[in-house]
Structure 1
Amino acid sequence: MSYSSSRFDPSDYPYIIGIDFGTTYSGCSYFYTEDSTGEILEITEWPKQRGAIYPKVPTASLYEANGKRMIAWGNDAIFKAQRPNNKDVLVERFKLTLDPNIASKATLPNGLTSLEVITDYLTAFHAYVLEYLDRVLGHVYQHSKSRYCLTVPAMWDDQAKATMREAAILAGIVSRADNPDRLVLTSEPEAASLFCEKKCDQFELEEGKRFMICDAGGGTVDLIVFGIDDNNGKKTLREITKGSGASCGSTFLDARMRRIFKTRFGEYYQDNKQAINHIMKQFVTVIKPQFENEDDEFFSMPMSLKLSEDELSEIGIEDGKLQISVDDLREEVFEPVVKQVLDLISDQVNQARKKLDAVFLVGGFGQSKYLQERVKETFESKIGLIAMPARGELAVVRGAVIFGLSPGRVSHRVARRTYGLAMDSPFDYIQDPAEYKYIAADGSVMCKGRYIVYVNKGETIEAEECVTHKAFAFYPQNISAALYVYDGNEVPPRYTTHYRVRKVSNFTIKMPFIPNAYTNQKIGATLNMYFGNTEILVEIKIHDKVFRSASEYAAHELEKISVPIDREEESENDDDDKPEYSFI
């Protein structure tokens, strides 16, 4: 995926589409730059809503039994899965399979992979978005002139982010030949911060102030602290802390609530699953967002219970209602999950090292009254203002559009990991083991596999800061670089063979045609790496040609070699079987 860097012009894309791909619900906002109202709008009408108007659609897919064909998505998938005698498989919360902390424990049915399930969902989701925009914008809308911003959790690693880009390509959101800047990725708390930054005047936050975003959604909770800079009247945001997060969103409350119902119903649980699904819906839609740790809750049971009077009494159902005490709700359902969120906030407060001016609670779970009260009572002495912005559940999807309009609004980011390349270096007889030694063609004694660090974990990097490396290849071999990562907090290891150093990415550029170049001629190249964005971008300059590429991570099921868009000058002796040459 490479192209001439001069090809991308944001003014060619007047339609900005923000996609918040969530664990439980996904949303879409859009903006037309030539609309005089200057208003960001979100899609509130989704297929099979049955009269309900809600700005998000369930992140759910229905697959045929024992197969890999998706037969429904969103609301339709859930309705069809609930039909009597349904044999098809409902797949939900599949976004969590990309969480690096739990991915190894997450399994998908029917042999499906994360990439396949996410691609299937995004294909259907995006097809509906195009249909909707065609309908509401009419003849002025042109898909080819749309630019996209896709949000990802702050805690995701580079493989997970690259899998999302690959899924977006396979889903037809953008094409592989497109300039990577047509699809930008941003972290969910970063998008939310741009939404909240517009409200800074309302909360009297100005240059030099620091605020935390706590984006608590259905599956994940992401946090980060930003500082406000004002450069000649233009506000930008600077990351102060390394973003953190965990899978401890509101769906984990649902799981704990269902566990209580399982305990109460005991041996009668399996025969009354439909009734339990009915009272779970009461919990999700009514009790969960409004719970304030004050009253017992009573669940209205449907008439379809397959239980005798004695069995009803044994479970604790009286007059058609099941009572759950406020103590059980607090201790068994809310507090274990909320405590994880409080620990995450505490970690960010400690990283920031000085009192924060504000924290904004956004996301669906961020609207929970219990969570809000617990944050206030725990941190009111350490944080100046604890605020829940209006329509906070839309903060991420609206912020995605703001980011798509102005990616430069976030001026500095903090590196989540230590990044470097594998390079050969002069052999050190004191430090380097003998088995790493070799004699180069020019007779020099060299050490192979050195891990040369370019960016250290925790380092603050400007968004456009460039790390440059000079290299060469022998014409007409392809040019390839391997990126390695170290996640530890200690001094990085000396060699890429260390068990905690992982190869995460290959950047491969097809050697362009160079007039008058001869076979095995040494061709110089400049490798520029940009680590200050949500994704790592690489720019390679070879003679008068410039290629920019988003990384191609080893986790992809598909791995492609980058080729120039402009191919009229390609060599007639194009030999794909020739070995690629790695930077040294």
Structure 2
Amino acid sequence: MSVSIDFGTAFSRVAYCSSHVAGGIVEQIPTCLLYDDAGRVLARGLEAKHAIPMPATVICERFKLFLEPSALRDDIVDPRLPKLPSGKKAVDLIIDFLTCLWDYARERITQEIDVVADLNSADVWLTVPATWDTKGCRTMRDAAIQAGLVGAASADDRDWRDRLHIITESEAAAVHCTRLTNFRQLRSSQNFMICDAGDTVDLTVYKIIGSLQNFEIAEMCACSRSNCGSLLDLKFKELVRTLLADHPVHLEPDSLEYFTYAFNETGKLEYLGESNDGDMFYFTCFNVEDPDDPSVGLVNGDLALPGNLLRREVFDPVIEQVLNLIESQTRRVDQRIDALLLVGGFSGSEYLFRRMNETFGSRIKVIARPSDADTATCRGAAQLGLPGHPLVSSIIVPRSYIMGVSLPVEPEDWQRPQAYITENDAGDHICENRLQYFVSKGAILRRGQRVRAKCRKFSSTPRDFLFVAMFYATDSDKIMRYTDELAGEMYTLARWTVDLTNLPNFQQHANNPQPGGFYTDFEIGLELDSAEIRGVILYHGYDYGQVTLDLLV
């Protein structure tokens, strides 16, 4: 059995499928927990979401945002983050929720297939945003293991942790969209964009590689992300606050949440745009007091809003932002987009879908969305556990990555100005201005592949143990030999100072110093994923240090 968990900011879902059992979706539950003042979970999901505020309790929502790169890298506090319960760290909230969600999944899957589900032997696919870096993904993986999403199926099951897979939400959605009839019109080497419009809007571009019978999907460009989806709720609340400024009873927190809930359940997806300009949209008031003031839309206990007002103040600003984000991502890729596929909770908006067709229909051949677009991520992740489904196994490198190196002089180097060549204490002539290309722009790398380059450091004494690596990047596809040949086209990524004292061969030479110094041989590796570029120092295949070189999002 293959089980997927789409752990969302506002809502989470579980899906499952098997080669022997018809797949199903466990309905979504709010990503919400209710704690007491001792840090114990009192309720989760819908029960926690609708809990009446009580003394000595705290409702926690949106705690997924604790793992956003801005929070982990820059310590930027998102104002939407909840107050932590007593004795709890941010990761504890994620562990607690995943534990509750997994217990719920066991119960529901067992009910649906009418047998006790052996989820200990299942592959579990946990989705994360494509913008998350290694630290966020690693933290999520550790939390999932602590929550018991995978476990040993037998006494001799030592590889049980390998059954937990972390994949990006856009990758899972892309896998699901490959089943669309319109998608099957695409050919190898063509490009498509996934627009995942939910609480946030994520855009990722992929290229189809290989044959249509056995094709793969390669990620072309790092994901772009914006909080467009959640802005609809904020815009709606701002409009309500403005209209009802003189009616404070309707602006109490419970009342505002009730209005917003009604907007999400009806108005958000049903609104069609200009054709609704003359229509009225009604939202029942939570409080029965102060029911009438037609001048601001209060009529018999309802808030009546004209369609043209909703379009101007709520929908148009957000949809324009989504369209601009797609335009920006298209320019960033700098290649033709052959299909634009819309998924996510907000993808059901007919107004958004129509505006996309109006804006991009003349340039993009296929603009489509699956009928189950709101669950595409969860369904696609579950399908990855079964044979025959394409996996995003490759990444197309967005720029060339280079390291400045000092190498023994070759005959060609003597043709350069003498200033490029120096002589070390061992009497060897060294070229100080050479470039070592790790990978060129447009190259296709397999996921997890390390590109390696051999390095050598000369140490005159055991105290000379620091190796300085200069890393560069360029959008140029030219291959050059010396640093000055890419002047103006190459920019510095990082200056990485590596301590070599942990390397066994350095220790061996340092403990038995030779007159005239010694050389230490090792490797520098480059790793690339959806969110960042990392440098790794290696000796005989073992890691001895790592640094983040480039952030792609």
TM-score, normalized by the shorter chain, greater than 0.5: yes
Structure number with greater CO (CA < 8 Å, separation at least 6) is: 1
Task: Report how far residue 386 of structure 1 moved.
Answer: 1.4
* Inter-partner Cα distance in structure 2 for 1:116 and 1:327: 45
Find 1:264's aligned residue among 220, 224, 243.
243
Q: Which residue of 1 aligns with 2:480?
A: none
Q: Which residue of 1 aligns with 2:44?
A: 73
CA displacement, residues 150-175 of structure 1 (integer Å, 9 cap, x when unaligned): 21222223322222222222322247
Task: Report how far residue 216 of structure 1 moved.
Answer: 0.8
Instruction: List aligned pairs for 1:58-137, cutoff 5 A.
Output: 58-65=30-37, 68-80=39-51, 83=52, 85=54, 88-101=57-70, 104-107=76-79, 108=81, 109-110=83-84, 113-137=89-113
CA displacement, residues 286-340 of structure 1 (integer Å, 9 cap, x when unaligned): 000111122343324347333275xx35643123332222232122211222122
For 2:281, the aligned partner's letter is F
Q: Percent identity?
A: 29
Find 1:531's aligned residue among 509, 517, 528.
528
* Inter-partner Cα distance in structure 2 for 1:169 and 1:523: 39
* Inter-partner Cα distance in structure 2 for 1:227 and 1:453: 24
* Inter-partner Cα distance in structure 1 for 2:493 and 2:535: 24
* Inter-partner Cα distance in structure 2 for 1:425 and 1:320: 80
Per the alignment, do residues 99 and 330 of structure 1 end up closer, same or farther by CA in structure 2, a change over 3 Å counting? farther
Find 1:281's aligned residue among 261, 267, 283.
261
Per the alignment, do residues 144 and 198 of structure 1 end up closer, same or farther by CA in structure 2, a change over 3 Å counting? same
* Inter-partner Cα distance in structure 1 for 2:386 and 2:511: 45
Per the alignment, do residues 84 and 99 of structure 1 end up closer, same or farther by CA in structure 2, a change over 3 Å counting? closer
Per the alignment, do residues 190 and 231 of structure 1 end up closer, same or farther by CA in structure 2, a change over 3 Å counting? same
For 2:24, the aligned partner's letter is L
Q: Which residue of 2 aligns with 1:21?
A: 7
Q: Which residue of 1 aligns with 2:234?
A: 255
- Pair 1:380 & 2:380 matched: no
Per the alignment, do residues 415 and 91 of structure 1 end up closer, same or farther by CA in structure 2, a change over 3 Å counting? farther
- Pair 1:42 & 2:21 matched: no
> Contact 1:471–1:524 (CA<8 Å) still a contact in 2?
yes
* Inter-partner Cα distance in structure 2 for 1:485 and 1:123: 42
> Contact 1:185–1:534 (CA<8 Å) still a contact in 2?
no
Per the alignment, do residues 466 and 381 of structure 1 end up closer, same or farther by CA in structure 2, a change over 3 Å counting? same
- Pair 1:221 & 2:201 matched: yes
> Contact 1:422–1:483 (CA<8 Å) still a contact in 2?
yes
Q: Which residue of 1 aligns with 2:461?
A: none
- 3-state secondary structure, aligned to 1:386: strand
For 1:376, the aligned partner's letter is N
**Aligned residue-pair number:** 491
Q: Which residue of 1 aligns with 2:445?
A: 461
Per the alignment, do residues 524 and 117 of structure 1 end up closer, same or farther by CA in structure 2, a change over 3 Å counting? farther
Larger radius of gyration: 2
Task: Report how far residue 182 of structure 1 moved.
Answer: 2.4
Most deviating of 523-532 and 375-384: 523-532
Per the alignment, do residues 453 and 40 of structure 1 end up closer, same or farther by CA in structure 2, a change over 3 Å counting? farther
Task: Report how far residue 200 of structure 1 moved.
Answer: 4.2
Per the alignment, do residues 162 and 269 of structure 1 end up closer, same or farther by CA in structure 2, a change over 3 Å counting? farther
- Pair 1:412 & 2:390 matched: no
Task: Report how far residue 236 of structure 1 moved.
Answer: 1.6
* Inter-partner Cα distance in structure 2 for 1:325 and 1:386: 30
- 3-state secondary structure, aligned to 1:389: coil
Task: Report how far residue 375 of structure 1 moved.
Answer: 0.8
Q: Which residue of 1 aligns with 2:460?
A: none
CA displacement, residues 20-55 of structure 1 (integer Å, 9 cap, x when unaligned): 11121111111223x1x6x44222xxxxxxxxxxx2
Structure 1 length-normalised TM: 0.69
Per the alignment, do residues 138 and 525 of structure 1 end up closer, same or farther by CA in structure 2, a change over 3 Å counting? farther
Q: Which runs of 5+ in 1 are unaligned?
A: 1-14, 44-54, 433-438, 473-480, 512-516, 554-584
> Contact 2:470–2:495 (CA<8 Å) still a contact in 1?
yes
Task: Report how far residue 214 of structure 1 moved.
Answer: 0.9
CA displacement, residues 128-153 of structure 1 (integer Å, 9 cap, x when unaligned): 22333344446674333222222122
* Inter-partner Cα distance in structure 2 for 1:199 and 1:166: 34
Q: Which runs of 5+ in 2 are unaligned?
A: 153-157, 409-417, 457-466, 476-488, 513-518, 549-553
- 3-state secondary structure, aligned to 1:206: coil
For 1:462, the aligned partner's letter is R
* Inter-partner Cα distance in structure 1 for 2:307 and 2:149: 46
Per the alignment, do residues 70 and 357 of structure 1 end up closer, same or farther by CA in structure 2, a change over 3 Å counting? same
Q: Which residue of 2 aligns with 1:157?
A: 133
Task: Report how far residue 491 of structure 1 moved.
Answer: 3.2
- Pair 1:306 & 2:309 matched: no
